[in-house]
Structure 1
């Protein structure tokens, strides 16, 4: 099957792109994103897609970005697609938020892409993640101790507006396609910088595994991600149903800056372990807290065997009051660190 036909199937299938959709295309100038741009342009007529190209200067590589900008701008002009260059000071943002450069770049990039999408009325944002990126991501998440959901990798469509049409296409296929069509692209020197964990996985760990353990390691990782992703769909449905049975919310919704959530202990105890963990993760996300592994275990222990009228102190001022019939999650002093016990604790519980 030709690559163009494959991408068309991915768009109308897993990416769920409707005819006439507006798509903001994130193009860095590298081979993956340049292939994405030209492939989308090729299949845009049958789907009547409305494309907009966005190029972002992260202000990290001043010697390389002018060439990248020119390459993307010329391609957009040739394809008759609007070109919108943007800038973001990633280093300053990383320092202010205490993020890594990778984390800061990702946060700013997606925020800017969504801002552009809103401004031009586009429903979707297309990024150039490939099958190779998926394999790397699964390994990265494994190294960081991710659970089943994390090991399912990236989705073809996620967040409601983000699509990854190249996620089942290998980088070598894209490079061959670019060469056959004489399409220029740039090389990002930061992709070889071993201080970034992803680059060490790409250039050291994966080649080592391929040579010494499993020649088909990439395909093995992709199969694992696909299998776990299918399981995730069912588990997410079961988690949503379980949450309706064991979670209660107090407050006035959006009108209440810090609503309270209750976790009903008795029905929670009857849930399977996998659903217990997922319900707590969902609860913490819903109330705006971090849902890390240690906090999930603390809440589980409190729900299953916690002493009545005790409490947990979680991050950013989140308090968990432990009562006979429920756990109550609230921000008594707002979302900020503070010391002290919950006010009027003995007025609750039985």
Structure 2
């Protein structure tokens, strides 16, 4: 067994998953990273009794290249005795209908396709081939967008039913592995198109930072993400405590009973950082948008809100301020409307 395959097997063993016999959908684009992922997981099939399904998603954006890519994925999968499926999605149409960027539309459709294949395959996991290089790019993109601490903690090796076994490896590591195994891969021309932000980061900004500022910038960004992820775990635990104290009648963040009241005095005993995190989670649980400005307004209402005042948010959410508590409610249901709670009749 190749050392890289053995290392991933040991990593799985330490993490306790995937479990013996688990079914895994492997996202394979025909690029070096995903071909390496398919090869490594195929090498572990006998040891871990895994069931694999290779899935190639055709986004409909590069018709001159996708046929050759799918053929390559099919041939490599067949070499390893792994079944393969091709799924076609309409990215441009979906992006136009939802007013999304092509990048966002492609990502959403891709993961939707993976999950549908996972269900039909009766699998447990979706494995994707994000590397340390991808992690560095993602952290930098999120930093430029002014993202939160949680977002800056980057991608996790496991999130829900998605696993990323290669987050500690570089693209160079994987290409060396493939060369040693005698396995070829395809080049995706869209990865060269600097119209896309990620490609500008990959081909322009990161190389410039490495040349002119710090040759170890990629490692530094990944280390930052790792440190923030550890901090996030602690903050998440502390925020969960707020739910138990402030909303004891609710069984979970996804099942919030309305209307609900929160005592201002108890809320203000927590640190500002936890207050903001709690309000963000509460807004999502209430089915409305958790914009930063909304969070700031609500926290400020707990601190300085005048009794009898109201705050109005999207989808008809209203906050009514009293001296002791703040009441969250949808007076007319989850529909947009104008006017005060006092005049709702």
TM-score > 0.5 by shorter chain = yes
- CA distance, structure 2, for counterparts of residue 308 and residue 264 of structure 1: 13
Distance 2:184 2:254 in 1: 49
| Structure 1 contact 248–263 (Cα < 8 Å) conserved | no
Alpha-carbon separation, structure 2, partners of 1:93 and 1:334: 30
Which residue in 2 is equivalent to 1:179? 179
3-state SS of 2:341 partner: coil
Q: 1:188 to 1:259 in 2, by over 3 A?
A: farther
Q: Measure the CA separation in 2 of the matches of 1:66 and 1:298.
A: 52
Q: Structure 1 residues 87 and 344, CA, compared in 2 at 3 Å: closer, same or farther?
A: same
Q: Distance in 1 between matches of 2:149 and 2:254?
A: 32
Q: Give the distance between the partners of 1:266 and 1:7, measured in 2 at CA.
A: 50
TM-score normalised to structure 1 length: 0.91
**Structure 1, residues 37-90: CA drift from partner, whole Å, max 9, x if none?**
111101121111111111111111111111111111111122111212111111
Inter-CA distance 311–83: structure 2 relative to 1 (3 Å threshold): same
Tell me: CA distance 1:56–1:322, structure 2 relative to 1, closer, same or farther (3 Å): same
Instruction: Tell me the residue number matched to 2:292.
Output: 293
Q: How does 1:58-207 map to 2 (within 5 A)?
A: 58-158=59-159, 160-207=160-207
Which residue number in structure 2 is paired with residue 244 of structure 1? 244
Q: Is the 8 A contact 2:308 2:322 kept in 1?
A: yes
CA distance in 2, matches of 1:277, 1:339: 26
> For residues 24 and 343 of structure 1, what CA distance do their matches in structure 2 show?
54
Give the direction of change, closer, same or farther, for the CA distance of 1:220–1:276 in structure 2 (3 Å limit): same
Q: What RMSD in Å do the two structures reach over aligned CA positions?
A: 2.4
User: How far 1:154 moved relative to its partner?
Assistant: 0.6
For 2:227, the equivalent position in structure 1 comes to 227
Distance apart, 1:139 and its partner CA:
0.6
For residues 255 and 290 of structure 2, what CA distance do their matches in structure 1 show? Answer: 24
Q: Which residue of 2 aligns with 1:275?
A: 274
Q: Number of residues paired by the alignment?
A: 344
Alignment partner, residue 328 of structure 2: 329
What corresponds to 1:6 in structure 2? 7
Query: Where do 1:201-216 residues align within 5 Å?
Result: 201-216=201-216
Query: Cα distance, 1:312 vs. partner?
Result: 2.0
| Closer, same or farther: CA 272–170 of 1 in aligned 2, 3 Å | same
The answer to whether the 8 A contact 1:248-1:262 is kept is no
> CA distance change for structure 1 residues 197 and 332 in 2, over 3 Å: closer, same or farther?
farther
CA displacement, residues 261-281 of structure 1 (integer Å, 9 cap, x when unaligned)? 443322111101111111111
CA separation in 1, counterparts of 2:94 and 2:248? 37
Matched residue of 2:320: which SS?
strand
Cα 1:331–1:66, aligned 2, differ >3 Å: closer, same or farther?
Answer: farther
Change (3 A) 1:100 1:315: farther
Change (3 A) 1:284 1:12: farther
Q: Is the 8 A contact 1:246 1:265 kept in 2?
A: no
1:147 Cα shift?
A: 2.0
Structure 1 distance, partners of 2:277, 2:147, is: 13
| Alignment partner, residue 301 of structure 2 | 302
C-alpha displacement of 1:234? 1.2
Q: Which runs of 5+ in 1 are unaligned?
A: none
Q: Who is 2:28 aligned against? A: 27
Q: Which residue of 1 aligns with 2:42?
A: 41
User: So what's the TM-score if we normalise by structure 2?
Assistant: 0.92
